Structure 1
Amino acid sequence: MACGARTLEDTEIQNLKKRQVALLEKISCLALRFYADELAYLEARQASVLNQVSTLQRILDCEFPQCGRTGDLPGCHQEVHTSKERRVDDGKGDGVPCQNDIDLSAELGGIGSYVQTRLTRILTNAGASFLFKRVPADYYGRSFEERRDLLGASSIDHLCKSIVMVNTQAPDSVKDCSDRNNSKYYLIVIQYTARLNAEKVRQFVYSLNNGKLPKKKINMRLAPEAESNALTGFEHNAVTPFGMLTNIPVILSDAIVRLQPEYFWLGGGEVDLKLGIRTQDFIRILNPFIADCLY
């Protein structure tokens, strides 16, 4: 009996050891998955930060060409800034006055708030009624109802987005956005709850040209993300029609115009920054085309 009990005990010990080894292997696998997820997250954040730095550089090149490289992106335009005159070293030991240079760190509070400060200036000068709100990092992983509550929007239909579309069949002579009736690109503003109808956008662009532009020369498709970033100066999920690097013609969905109350939310220039604005202010400032572009 004693021998049998000892054998049973040894068997139990071996089973426990096997279970322990299996458990340690599972823990190891979970740890590897955790670190892989963390690494992927950090890489994504790094890419986002680098993109924001690149975007900021393009904006600075456009707005302060006298103090750096001259902006060479299509649609870049200078704004007049009032600031104290500063002296910039010209390499000869003497300071050279630079009227348009401003101390970003002192006046704008650092890179993180530059976009919001810049857009606030644009909207305030235009006399708009607006509001910025920061949202959690997992905002786009939440339901429309949760996003509505985070922003204090009137309904999920008041949550909107901006999409850059490109005419892939545009004539060779159409390379930019200088002709708003026959532009290479259009920025479409629609609700998140709606579906964009590319064919209706195509028909609308055709109608703008009174039949002078053949239908076969109009094929509206979503612009590649890198192209959208370069044209607007804003990354994916941050695009806003205000303060874009390129003066892209805007098409506003007529469904947004019919919303009550007349106040909706859209991207605010940064992924975690959202902008609420009165519909009439949006229309007055941007003078968008208003069209039926939904299914």
Structure 2
Amino acid sequence: MSNHQLEEKQNSILNKLKSLEERLNNITPPSIITDNQKRIGKVCEEIGLEHELVRVPSPYYTWTLDQRASYLDAFSPEYLLKSIILENTECTNTDTSIPTNSRYYCVIIQYTTKIQSHKIFKFIKNMNSNESAKKFHFTLAQSAESLTGFEYNAVCPIGTTVKIPIIISKHIMDLPRGVPVFLGGGEVDLKLVVDIHSFKEKVESSGNTVFITDVIDTSDNNNNNTENDI
């Protein structure tokens, strides 16, 4: 075998190894433990919340919800949750110190559902009957990253930079106790695994406010295995 042929064969082997490595990276999550992961874990421990933090591979968000649930060994896609930061842009308050009339809320919903902002409006307005309806207009918070310390698609409802009142979709609380749900863990590829009932109790015990109400848009069928936003 000539040197040229040998070089070509070596390059072919190296290319195949590189291709194999790329495929493995696509199905194998990184094994790193970041400072953020340690911090979220510490927050959970401080409030006595049993939890697990698990990583997902890079193509995770290109998968269907069924595929995501299968990978995580979730009972069904209904157990995959996301946290969305909403801002009341007309709020008379500038911060989150009054939970019943906060400028910001962290709303937890199932990936199989979609928020109906008018239901958020009605729920908060009913707790503030003396306020004009003009003082309530909810939209996605533009300052979510600075409020939470987490990037888009990675919001964890605890360990945020600012303590934000939480609203949990009542449909999530219908899930059986003891079956884990999967929340954002503060990084795009990190999931916080908890029992949602225990989560609610421990977060409330830690001093944050948790509301339970119907926030879901039922005008059409949202169980379509796609990601929905407000």
Q: TM-score, normalised by structure 1?
A: 0.59
Q: Aligned partners of 1:132 and 1:151: how far apart in 2?
A: 11
2:140 equivalent in structure 1: 222
Residue 229 of structure 1 deviates from its aligned partner by 0.3
Q: Does 1:181 align with 2:181?
A: no
Please give the alpha-carbon distance, in whole angstroms, between the structure 1 residues aligned to 2:54 and 2:113: 23
**Deviation by residue 1:222-247 (Cα, 9 ceiling, x = unmatched):** 112xx100000000111011100001
1:264 aligns to 2:186 (yes or no)? no
Structural mapping, 1:72-221, within 5 Å: 113-171=34-92, 174-209=93-128, 211-221=129-139
Structure 1 position 212, deviation (Å): 1.5
Gaps of 5+ in 1: 1-109
**Which one of the candidate residues 237, 242, 252 is aligned to 2:153?**
237
Q: Provide the C-alpha distance between the structure 2 equivalents of 1:125 and 1:184, rounded to a whole number of angstroms.
A: 27
Query: Is 2:211 the partner of 1:289?
Result: yes
- Once the two structures are superposed, residues 55-105 of structure 1 have per-residue CA deviations (whole angstroms, 9 ceiling, x without a partner) of xxxxxxxxxxxxxxxxxxxxxxxxxxxxxxxxxxxxxxxxxxxxxxxxxxx
Aligned residue runs from structure 1 range 7-18, under 5 A: none
Report how many aligned residue pairs link the two structures: 180
Task: Flag structure 2 segments of 5+ consecutive residues without an equivalent.
Answer: 1-31, 205-209, 218-230
Aligned AA for 2:131? L
Moved over 3 A (4+): none
2:197 & 2:91 partners in 1: Cα distance?
32
**RMSD (Å), alpha carbons:** 1.3
Deviation for aligned residue 1:127: 1.8
Q: Secondary structure at the match of 2:172?
A: helix
CA deviations over 1:104-125 (Å, ceiling 9, x no partner): xxxxxx9x51111111111122
Which of the two has greater helix per residue? 1
What's the counterpart of residue 194 of structure 2? 277
What is the TM-score normalised by the length of structure 2? Answer: 0.75
- 1:266 partner SS: strand
Q: Deviations over 1:11-40 (max 9, x none)?
A: xxxxxxxxxxxxxxxxxxxxxxxxxxxxxx
- Say which one has the larger Rg: 1
C-alpha separation in 2, matches of 1:147 and 1:267: 13
Identity within the alignment, %: 36
After TM superposition, list the pairs within 5 Å mapping 1:54-65 onto structure 2.
none
Instruction: Give me the whole-angstrom Cα distance separating, in 2, the residues matched to 1:281 and 1:126.
Output: 11
Match for 2:212: what amino acid? I
* TM-aligned CA deviation for residue 285 of structure 1: 2.2
Amino acid of the residue matched to residue 276 of structure 1?
Answer: V
| Amino acid in structure 2 at the alignment position of 1:155 | S
Report matched runs for 1:16-95 at 5 Å: none
Q: Is the 8 A contact 1:250 1:286 kept in 2?
A: no
